């Protein structure tokens, strides 16, 4: 079993913001797996699928970003998951736009959603960080990450979201071997 958690904020007004990159990525994964977010449990919208015989749970916590760890902890307990069966997808202000990075473990960095998860389950879970670094450092980080993406930026990020989703699927397939 493998859990992929995309971080974002649940309200519609946040749909097209930088901080919802995690949600957008698990939406792309659901599309590629041919599954829909039709269930709710562990404080999250959930889609379930199978990839090469491996059960894959996709989750979008309904908590706000800063409380994401409670949802991840609930999944971990419910399914008796080990941290190496959990992958979190998140936006990263320190990575250039149009890039992503995979890590087996690490710190929360400046990301409050990741900080919440680390506080709840520790730091030894997998993560894919998708770059949203602005050209010029914003005066207010919260305003930037919660701002709407314009069409040009969204096209760049849609491309990296697709690449990250493909990478995640290949990674899950590799775990089965």
Q: Which of 100, 104, 44 is nearest to 74 (CA)?
A: 44
As given in the structure block, the two tokens for residue 58 are: 């996709």
- Say which of 17, 19, 58, 129 is annotated catalytic: 19
Query: Could you tell me the CA-to-CA distances from 156 to 94, 151, 152, 160, 162 in Å, in that order?
Result: 17, 9, 7, 7, 10
Binding-site residue set for tRNA: 14, 64, 66, 112
Q: Which of 93, 98, 140, 137 is nearest to 114 (CA)?
A: 93
Identify the burial level of 68 via C-beta atoms within 10 angstroms of its C-beta, where 0-12 means exposed, 13-18 middle and 19 or more buried: buried
Binding-site residue set: 14, 64, 66, 112
**Residue 111 catalytic?**
no
Q: Do residues 91 and 16 touch, judged by C-beta distance below 8 A?
A: no
Active site members: 19
């Amino acid at each position: 079993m493998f859990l992929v958690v995309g971080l974002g904020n649940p309200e519609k007004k946040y749909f097209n913001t930088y901080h919802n990159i995690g949600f957008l990525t698990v939406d792309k994964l659901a599309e590629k797996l041919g599954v829909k977010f039709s269930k709710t449990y562990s404080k999250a919208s959930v889609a379930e699928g199978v990839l090469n015989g491996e059960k894959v749970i996709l989750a979008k916590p309904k908590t706000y970003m800063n409380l994401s760890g409670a949802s991840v902890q609930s999944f971990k307990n419910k399914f008796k998951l080990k941290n190496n069966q959990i992958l979190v997808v998140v936006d990263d202000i320190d990575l250039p736009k149009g890039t992503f990075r995979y890590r087996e473990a690490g710190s929360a960095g400046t990301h409050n959603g990741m900080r919440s998860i680390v506080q709840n389950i520790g730091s030894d879970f997998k993560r894919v960080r998708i770059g949203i670094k602005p050209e010029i450092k914003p005066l207010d980080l919260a305003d930037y990450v919660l701002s709407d993406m314009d069409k040009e930026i969204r096209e760049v990020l849609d491309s990296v979201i697709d690449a990250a989703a493909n990478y995640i699927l290949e990674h899950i397939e590799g775990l089965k071997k």
